[in-house]
Amino acid sequence: MSEAPAPGRFETVAWVYSQSDLAILLSFFEHAEIPVQTAGRGHVSVDWSLTTALGGIALRVRAEDGDDARALLAELDPIPHRARLLTGFWPIDLAFFAAIIIVFGVGSPPRQIPTFLTGETAVRREHLKLGG
């Protein structure tokens, strides 16, 4: 059997949980001229509360662009900047969000951190997938 990657094979290099993180990463990849395919973007754009249930939005690149994409992601801060919530004083913020949930029955959007597959993580996942 051939060890060459199959044409059209894609691999996931990142998962994001917010539309703003997605837009930043898509523009980052576009600037680097790396084509990206997303999975789950349509569902999340219609109902943001599904983001966590779907495991975020997967960013997938062609297998031959995987190393370049991981190198680009490795240049980013592992934890992107997050603006403070409302007041920056957690008891007041917690009370405000509890009031919103009680009055409107809607939770706040997830503020999860994007997950990037870079370096050793990607190597270990590939190693495990190949059974080595």
Residue type, 38: T
> What pLDDT, on the 0 to 100 scale, is given for residue 42?
86
Q: Give the CA diameter of the chain.
A: 62
pLDDT at 101: 81
Whether the predicted model's global pTM rises above the 0.75 cut: no
In this predicted structure, what is the pLDDT of residue 35? 93
Residue 42 vs residue 3, higher pLDDT: 42
What DSSP string runs through the chain?
---SPPTT-EEEEEEE-SHHHHHHHHHHHHHTT--EEEESHHHHHH-GGGTTTTTSEEEEEEGGGHHHHHHHHHTS-SS------SSS-HHHHHHHHHHHHHHH--PPPP-PPPEE--HHHHHHHHHHHHT-
19: buried, middle or exposed (CB in 10 Å: 19+, 13-18, 0-12)?
middle
- Could you report the per-residue pLDDT of 96-115, keeping only the tens digit for each? 888 888 888 766 665 676 77
Q: Give the least confident one: 31-35, 41-45, 61-65, 104-108.
A: 104-108
Residues 68-104 have pLDDT tens digits of: 998 888 887 766 656 666 787 888 888 888 888 888 8
Give me the amino acid identity at 19: Q
Give the residue carrying structure tokens 């662009």: 65
